[in-house]
């Protein structure tokens, strides 16, 4: 019982909210494994269309490690996110490692896709060098991750020819949408949706890979419909979500 009380004392959100947020982070830690399954299932195709398929497995390890550091930072912040904590707009050691691992994972994905191109080396090296400097200055430290993510999206489209991968760019906007709502309302249930949105890009990577391997890419019109429908849904939900009440901080 003592251990249980000590563990619960580090979670300042309660009940169903706590369960939902913790499950969302478990999902974020495990979902990169879907890329391993997809690469293995379509190995011959991936060998023929990318530079070094083995690096995808390395990238998955980095994605999982990054999610573990995010969980650690959330635990340090007792899972109650406000603008000033490291898990949100503040700075912290595990937060730094989280973004470093995710950026490195995107770099490795880019190298797996097109490591034989000099400009891919140039962009990814610049991103990795710039990230620690920008983070410690707390200035535009999301830029390296944004750039490497966009690079991977373009390289996936170049390799597999499926425009569905561009939904990853939309997911960045969805993540920021939920993050802004979380800080605006203080409703900690939004933390779970932010985490799900931020970590679900791998599904569109897998989708594009599978469609490329089977010769059935998603059409541009369908991709456009998904984009437009998501924008309208977000606009419609904003006034509804804005009325959510701030979560009660649980003191155990």
135: number of Cβ within 10 Å: 19
pLDDT computed for residue 14 by the predictor: 84
Q: Note the pTM of the prediction, 2 decimals.
A: 0.93
- In which band, very low, low, confident or very high, does the pLDDT at 86 lie, cut at 50, 70 and 90? confident
How many angstroms separate the Cα of 101 from the Cα of each of 32, 63, 86, 140, 190? 13, 7, 16, 17, 24
Digit-coded pLDDT (tens) for 119-141: 999 999 999 999 999 999 988 88
- What are the percentages of helix, strand and coil residues in the chain, rounded to 5? 75, 0, 25
Give me 44's structure tokens: 């011959």
Whether the predicted pLDDT of 252 surpasses 70: no
Contact 188, 247 (CB under 8 A): yes
How many angstroms separate the Cα of 207 from the Cα of each of 49, 107, 192? 15, 20, 23
Share of the chain above pLDDT 90, in %: 85
Q: What is the mean pLDDT of the chain?
A: 93
Between residues 14 and 39, the one the model is more confident about? 39
pLDDT computed for residue 1 by the predictor: 57
Print the SS3 string covering 201-213: HHHHHHHHHHHHH
In this structure, of 102-111, 179-188, 242-251, the range with the lowest mean pLDDT score is 242-251
Average pLDDT over residues 144-154: 96
Whether the predicted pLDDT of 8 surpasses 80: no
Whether the predicted pLDDT of 179 surpasses 90: yes
Polymer length in residues for the chain: 252
Domain ranges of the chain: 2-241
Sign (positive or negative) of CA dihedral 59, 61, 67, 72: negative
Whether the predicted pLDDT of 51 surpasses 90: yes
pLDDT computed for residue 169 by the predictor: 92
Average pLDDT over residues 35-53: 96
Digit-coded pLDDT (tens) for 191-211: 999 999 999 999 999 999 999
Digit-coded pLDDT (tens) for 55-73: 999 999 999 999 999 999 9
């Amino acid at each position: 019982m003592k251990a249980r009380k000590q563990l619960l004392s580090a979670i300042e959100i309660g009940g169903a909210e706590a369960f939902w947020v913790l499950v969302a982070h478990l999902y974020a830690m495990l979902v990169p494994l879907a890329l391993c399954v997809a690469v293995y299932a379509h190995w011959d195709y991936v060998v023929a269309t990318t530079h070094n398929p083995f690096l995808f497995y390395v990238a998955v390890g980095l994605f999982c490690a990054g999610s573990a550091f995010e969980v650690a930072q959330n635990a340090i912040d007792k899972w109650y996110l406000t603008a000033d904590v490291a898990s949100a707009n503040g700075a912290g050691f595990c937060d730094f490692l989280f973004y470093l691992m995710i950026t490195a994972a995107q770099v490795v994905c880019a190298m797996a896709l097109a490591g034989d191109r000099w400009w891919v080396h140039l962009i990814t090296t610049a991103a990795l060098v710039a990230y620690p400097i920008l983070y410690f200055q707390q200035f535009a430290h999301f830029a390296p991750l944004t750039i490497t993510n966009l690079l991977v999206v373009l390289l996936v489209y170049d390799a597999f020819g499926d425009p569905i991968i561009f939904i990853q760019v939309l997911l960045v906007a969805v993540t920021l949408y939920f993050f802004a709502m979380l800080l605006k309302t203080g409703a900690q249930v939004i933390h779970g949706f932010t985490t799900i949105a931020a970590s679900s890009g791998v599904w569109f990577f897998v989708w594009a890979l599978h469609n490329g391997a089977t010769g059935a890419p998603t059409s541009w019109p369908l991709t456009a419909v998904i984009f437009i429908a998501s924008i309208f849904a977000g606009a419609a939900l904003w006034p509804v979500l804005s009325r959510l009440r701030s979560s009660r901080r649980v003191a155990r």
